[in-house]
A and B are shown apart, each in its own frame.
Chain A
Amino acid sequence: MIPADGRVPRGDERPSGPDSRPWILRFARAPDRRQAVPAAEAFYDHQQQIFLPVHGDLLPYMGTHHPTVVDGDPKNPPKLDEGAKD
């Protein structure tokens, strides 16, 4: 299950020193937000049990086929990334 506060580890602190910070995190970087695709406005329909569009008639799932790339916004962590295994 995904924790209530999301699946991405989070904290407000700055990175610690080189001896305590995991070595691999020296290669961590903000993802390229130019590849991010904004999610369409949608609402969940309890009868059909799928999301329906707020605007237009294209069902939101029909627009999900862009690879979901994180946009770097910590308030909007990815839900459909390839990296974090569920």
Chain B
Amino acid sequence: MPGPILVIAGRDDWPTDRVVKILTDCGAEVFRFDTADFPQQMTIGARIETGHPWSGTLSTAYRTADLAQVEAAYYRTPSTFRFPPEMTEAERQFAQAQARSGIGGIICALECRWVSHPVAMSRAEYKPFQLQQARRCGLRVPATLITNQPAAVREFAARIDGPIITKPIASPMLIEDGQLKTVYTRLLHPSDLKDLSGIDATAHLFQAWVPKAHEVRLTVVGERLLTAEIHAGSAVALEDWRAAYDDLRYQAAEVPAELRQAVLRLMDRLGLRFAACDFVVDLAGAWWFLEANPCGQWDWIQHATGLPIAEAIADELQGIPA
């Protein structure tokens, strides 16, 4: 009997439910937890010694997992540890750091099939790092500038043969003054560059605009490449498809053979077994890499195209080859 599959996920990540259901229907032993369960609803006891790797148990009121027997782990946006409200703020921060290093360290030390390892996911979150690795793997990447210098922005815009865009390098959202706001990709007009006050306030990303035939959301699970074309039906959706979901049309497709090898090399370099990669396909049919999301959403793509993404994740966790 194979050992347990750990599912380390936010409790409210409902697409994870789909993966758990497939795994349990297959007869796999699943131990799901959110790191927020620790320490109030979950305990850990683990030890290591010369000649023996980490062993011990993770336990909740409902089940126990033998750490030495863990076959695979699915890591998907778990929440931070939750401590008793009676703790002082200093105590809470101290306990948070101890838990992160302790249980977080044990989780990271598990030698099993990962989808994907949290350290690799954390590193792969950096867009500049992704672009560098993608370029090394033979993928086309749009000319990109990251700067906090207004003069560098003007010089970049002048050098690029065509329009440029800006987009956030990290989270596009914030809540301020009682309002939730988001920043989508913005196709810049020359007038946008007249006043660059605030460029120096932090790092900003600028990129050459690639004229689009359509975009591709390429979901990679192990060796499986699940390709969905995204066709924009409005100018807003063409600029950033997240801004106008109702204007999109999806179609399952195939990734060109040479792209397939480059993408698998990229995944290998990033150390990921799952990523939702975004590409632009230009008017000549060339693919341009935009980014890889180590924890990207996939459920709506599966629904729109029939691509078996949840099944692919479950197969990867169970070690079933593509």
> Does B174 contact A10, Cβ atoms closer than 8 Å?
yes
> Does A23 contact B198, Cβ atoms closer than 8 Å?
yes
Known contacts A85-B293, A86-B295; decide if A8 and B173 are in contact (CB<8 Å): yes
Residue A61 contacts which of B17, B202, B296 (CB distance < 8 angstroms)? B17
Give residues 155-181 of B contacting A (CB, 8 Å): 166-168, 170-181
Residue B175 contacts which of A9, A27, A29, A49 (CB distance < 8 angstroms)? A9
**B30 in the interface, Cβ–Cβ < 8 Å?**
yes
Residues of B within 8 A of A29 (CB): 181-183
Residue A1 contacts which of B80, B186, B195 (CB distance < 8 angstroms)? B80
> Does B20 contact A50, Cβ atoms closer than 8 Å?
yes
Residue A8 contacts which of B12, B21, B82, B171 (CB distance < 8 angstroms)? B171
Q: Which residue of chain B has the shortest Cβ distance to A47 in the bound complex?
A: B62
Residues of B within 8 A of A7 (CB): 171
> Does A77 contact B173, Cβ atoms closer than 8 Å?
yes
**A3 in the interface, Cβ–Cβ < 8 Å?**
yes
> Does A83 contact B178, Cβ atoms closer than 8 Å?
no
- Of B43-51, B135-143, B297-305, the one touching chain A: B297-305
Q: How large is the interface on A (under 10, 10 to 19, 20 to 34, 35 or more residues)?
A: 35 or more
What would be 21 A-B contacts, judged by CB atoms less than 8 Å apart?
Answer: A1-B78, A9-B173, A10-B174, A11-B176, A12-B176, A13-B176, A14-B176, A19-B198, A21-B198, A27-B186, A30-B179, A30-B182, A31-B182, A46-B60, A50-B20, A51-B12, A64-B18, A70-B173, A77-B173, A80-B13, A82-B293
Known contacts A10-B175, A31-B180; decide if A18 and B198 are in contact (CB<8 Å): yes
Distance between A25 CB and nearest chain B CB, rounded to angstroms: 7
Distance between A45 CB and nearest chain B CB, rounded to angstroms: 10
- Number of A-B residue pairs having CB atoms within 8 Å of each other in the complex: 196
Give residues 275-315 of B contacting A (CB, 8 Å): 293-297, 299-300, 302-304
Query: Secondary structure of the A side of the interface?
Result: loop
Distance between B38 CB and nearest chain A CB, rounded to angstroms: 11
> Does A86 contact B77, Cβ atoms closer than 8 Å?
yes
Residue B182 contacts which of A18, A49, A70, A86 (CB distance < 8 angstroms)? A70
Residues of B within 8 A of A50 (CB): 17, 20-21
Q: Which residue of chain A has the shortest Cβ distance to B122 in the bound complex?
A: A86
Instruction: Please indicate which of the listed interface residues A11, A73, A74, A78 has the most CB atoms of chain B within 10 Å of its own CB.
Output: A74
Residues of B within 8 A of A10 (CB): 174-176
**A66 in the interface, Cβ–Cβ < 8 Å?**
yes
Known contacts A64-B299, A85-B294; decide if A77 and B245 are in contact (CB<8 Å): no
Residue A22 contacts which of B14, B32, B201, B243 (CB distance < 8 angstroms)? B201
> Does B17 contact A51, Cβ atoms closer than 8 Å?
yes
**A55 in the interface, Cβ–Cβ < 8 Å?**
no
Instruction: Please indicate which of the listed interface residues B24, B176, B294, B302 has the most CB atoms of chain A within 10 Å of its own CB.
Output: B176
Residues of B within 8 A of A26 (CB): 198
Distance between B262 CB and nearest chain A CB, rounded to angstroms: 22
Q: In the bound complex, how far is the Cα of B178 from the Cα of A30, in angstroms?
A: 11
Give residues 95-141 of B contacting A (CB, 8 Å): 100, 121, 125
Distance between B182 CB and nearest chain A CB, rounded to angstroms: 5
Q: In the bound complex, how far is the Cα of B173 from the Cα of A86, in angstroms?
A: 13
> Does B245 contact A67, Cβ atoms closer than 8 Å?
yes
Residues of B within 8 A of A83 (CB): 168, 171-173, 182, 184, 242
**B10 in the interface, Cβ–Cβ < 8 Å?**
yes
Distance between B296 CB and nearest chain A CB, rounded to angstroms: 7
Residues of A within 8 A of B76 (CB): 86
> Does B17 contact A27, Cβ atoms closer than 8 Å?
no
Residues of A within 8 A of B10 (CB): 2, 79
Residue B196 contacts which of A20, A23, A60, A64 (CB distance < 8 angstroms)? A23
9 tightest Cβ-Cβ pairs between the two chains A and B: A65-B303, A23-B198, A61-B17, A86-B295, A10-B175, A50-B17, A28-B181, A83-B172, A84-B171
